[in-house]
Amino acid sequence: MEPKEKILIVEDEKNIARMLQIELDKSGYETAIEKNGRRAYERIIQENYDLVLLDVMLPGMDGMEICKSVRQISDIPIIMLTALFETKDKVNGLDLGANDYVTKPFSTEEVLARIRGILKRRKEELRKEEKRLVIGSVILYPERYEARINSEVIDLTHKEFELLLYLVENKPNVLSREQIIQKVWGYDFLGYTNVVDVYISYLRTKIDDKYNEKHIQTVRGVGYKCVD
């Protein structure tokens, strides 16, 4: 299960804050409420939230100021909560880098829809930025040490992943057992080169056999290579 997304509700009106919190918790988010503007700013930059709901009129530091200051150091999604009479605030908020705004009085469904929209776009952006390598229908995410097939995570150990990564990075070239040992196990590895054969067989069991793919080939007398 993916971890809950964390949302900071910055709102000094107790009833509104509480109502938002109840609905967001119900929708599966992890929430916190902050009613002071200055403390809100500190929490946004110090704690690890996925999104901020930001009221404009706040004690300590107003929402516009918070938005402007946060934007200088962070691109965390911000949705401004503005009162109807603060029409110019909407424009200002977006100018200052808020991702969206809702006008009070709002329905929680509306706020939830905005949150879902922004978090979804954000995830897609992050996925696009993430480095990935593809071999057939297997996708490797080196930063996460994770390989997936049909979006299912393949259960690999660290060494198995490193071995697969090395082969995929070098496809379609053949890598000798010695090259693989040096790269994956390190120069001072004292074991026998047949550790490579053993690990290749693990990968074949976990990928080729299990998913009926054929990516890892033996090149007799030379070593191994990966093919799409």
Q: Which residues bind Ca ion (CB under 5 A)?
A: 12, 55, 57
Smallest distance from Ca ion to CB 12, Å: 5
Q: Which of residues 45 and 57 has its CB atom nearest to Ca ion in the complex?
A: 57
Query: Which CB, 96 or 180, lies closer to Ca ion?
Result: 96
Least CB distance to Ca ion at residue 115 (A): 19
Rg over CA atoms, the chain: 25
Closest contact distance (angstroms) between CB of 61 and Ca ion is: 12
What is the number of the residue whose Cβ is closest to Ca ion?
57
Rounded to the nearest angstrom, the gap between the alpha carbon of residue 166 and the centroid of all alpha carbons in its chain is 24
Name which of 37 and 223 has its Cβ closer to Ca ion: 37
CA–CA distance, 158 with 66 (Å, rounded to integer): 42
Alpha carbons 154 and 165: distance in angstroms, whole number: 13
CB of 162 to Ca ion, least distance (A): 52
| Closer of 62 and 208 to Ca ion (Cβ) | 62
Minimum separation from the CB atom of position 29 to Ca ion (A): 21
State in angstroms the smallest separation of the CB of 57 from Ca ion: 4
Exposure string of 180-217, with b = 16+ CB inside 10 Å and e = fewer, is bbebbbeeeeeeeeebbeebbeebbebbbeebebebbe
Q: At what angle do helices 108-129 and 14-26 cross, to 10 degrees?
A: 60
Least Cα distance to 142 among 134, 153, 150, 133 occurs for 133
> Which of residues 41 and 185 has its CB atom nearest to Ca ion in the complex?
41
**Residue among 58 and 154 whose Cβ is closer to Ca ion:** 58
- Print burial letters for 80-116: b (CB count within 10 Å at least 16), e (below 16): bbbeeebeebbebbeebebbbbbbeebebeebbebbe
